[in-house]
Structure 1
């Protein structure tokens, strides 16, 4: 496999990467290292993991990070309801008679009562292609969880005290994403390969729209990409990402719009801008001016 093969495979599954991202994905797969993707929301970080799963055939296992996440949500937990039902059934049938409390308790901590969360599912996967483990928005987790992630991603093993050690025979493909609401710690960054995902340039964004929205004409794709590019220069609260560009082109197609005009822009702004302040700023600057910039882009 070469970086060109990775690029071709991702493109075939609807994701158009640049050379830097293609090389990063290739190296992450060859070196079996996690890949940390940073960049603004909507530039395609999460989508890359989904496309990798579709390409490799590995299960997509997503861990959505948030403040306060801990092992019970990310690694494993015990199914206390099943354990209690098992214990009551054993008592009702007399199976517990004459047995020590330690023996009864040990029976409750078997793998069948274990709820495997995202990290343990990825580490303890069975046969077939390795899963794609997406650790989304890792910048939202706290320091303690980052430290635990570093330990797991260093050895690809997890210890469950009651059962022993789960090891990955083949490590999963690991994609971590960050919107950089805070800096990820250096120790975790050193464990990962790194790539900053930029907004695409104009020509690549047009190509992405044509790839993801095949019914969109080249003319409309160019107008939409140019209008979004102009919006990104307006110092908006939340500049539109590639996902919003695709949504906008899709919405315009559903409305039968073949070329942008002031009415179509004003009535569909909600597909590309998601904050009232940004709507106000675009309208204050003038949608007609935005159109002129879009039409003038060649």
Structure 2
């Protein structure tokens, strides 16, 4: 499958899927498909890393399989595990005349295999986007598993042998850069760094997602969000929260984002009390 025919094609089709990609993002996305290499995307939370993988799936008609990473994630949750309860029932139901070797061969088959995201993506014949989300939250040991998968797109199951991909998935790894990933993982990937967009692009994103938003209000919103991101906050507003704020203004029929409107709706974009207090102080909003 040819995921995208060119960077321009990637840009156009991603735009049609609701994702406004700049030139670097469109080019790297095209190359990830053309070279069949995983795409590692780093950047702060809320800049559209996960959304890019979803947009690729929407734009190409592929199914999305997501592995959400977290501390303590192990092979059984990422790759596969055996259905031990079902195996035990099979053993108990086997006749006394049946030897252990026959029973052993019987219970280590696909029928008793619980396929997790990595193995599921490798075994699929249909176009698939594999999203390995927030890979920096996993333990270092999990990277060894990812190396095997990302190197040859195959997995070895001792009881069944080696399972190789017949159709390579489009792989996207996202990271908030809370820890440095190994050079071995990075070497196998194309790299893309996403940051918060500039004012013009964020305004374009917001207005495309919220068509009824007045242009002047969109400009005010983007300006306030940019000022908020310059503050030392626990959680800076994401692009998705900018869009939510725009939808909030539409719902409240606010046609001027003045100090009163900002104060009234600030909870849509700031989710910590300390951030709210800092914003009120730094933006010199009346605290009443």
How high is the TM-score relative to the length of structure 1? Answer: 0.91
Which of 32, 39, 42 is equivalent to 1:35? 39
Question: Does structure 1 residue 45 correspond to structure 2 residue 44?
Answer: no
d(CA) in 1 for partners of 2:137 and 2:159?
A: 30
Which residue is equivalent to 1:185? 182
Q: For residue 177 of structure 1, report the CA deviation from its aligned partner.
A: 0.5
Q: Structure 2 matches for 1:1-298, cutoff 5 A?
A: 1-88=5-92, 90-91=93-94, 96-126=95-125, 128-129=126-127, 131-288=128-285
Residue deviations 1:221-242, cap 9 Å, x none? 1111111011111222221121
User: Residue 77 of structure 1 contacts residue 116 of structure 1 at CA under 8 Å; is this kept in 2?
Assistant: yes
**Which stretch shows the higher mean deviation, 245-254 or 155-164?**
245-254
d(CA) in 2 for partners of 1:3 and 1:287?
A: 44
Structure 2 unpaired stretches of 5+ = none
Which ranges of 4 or more aligned residues in structure 1 deviate by more than 6 Å?
Answer: none
Residue deviations 1:72-111, cap 9 Å, x none? 01000111222233334x34xxxx2421012112211110
User: Residue 263 of structure 2 contacts residue 285 of structure 2 at CA under 8 Å; is this kept in 1?
Assistant: no
Residue deviations 1:31-59, cap 9 Å, x none? 00001000000000001111111111111
d(CA) in 1 for partners of 2:214 and 2:189?
A: 40
User: Residue 265 of structure 1 contacts residue 287 of structure 1 at CA under 8 Å; is this kept in 2?
Assistant: no
User: Residue 50 of structure 2 contacts residue 174 of structure 2 at CA under 8 Å; is this kept in 1?
Assistant: yes
d(CA) in 2 for partners of 1:286 and 1:204?
A: 23
Helix, strand or coil at the partner of 2:89? helix
d(CA) in 2 for partners of 1:135 and 1:38?
A: 12
Which residue is equivalent to 1:293? none
How high is the TM-score relative to the length of structure 2? Answer: 0.94
Helix, strand or coil at the partner of 1:171? coil
Q: For residue 267 of structure 1, report the CA deviation from its aligned partner.
A: 2.0
Q: For residue 287 of structure 1, report the CA deviation from its aligned partner.
A: 4.6
Compute the RMSD of aligned alpha carbons: 1.4
Structure 1 unpaired stretches of 5+ = 290-298
Helix, strand or coil at the partner of 2:280? helix
Q: For residue 265 of structure 1, report the CA deviation from its aligned partner.
A: 1.1
**Which stretch shows the higher mean deviation, 79-88 or 179-188?**
79-88
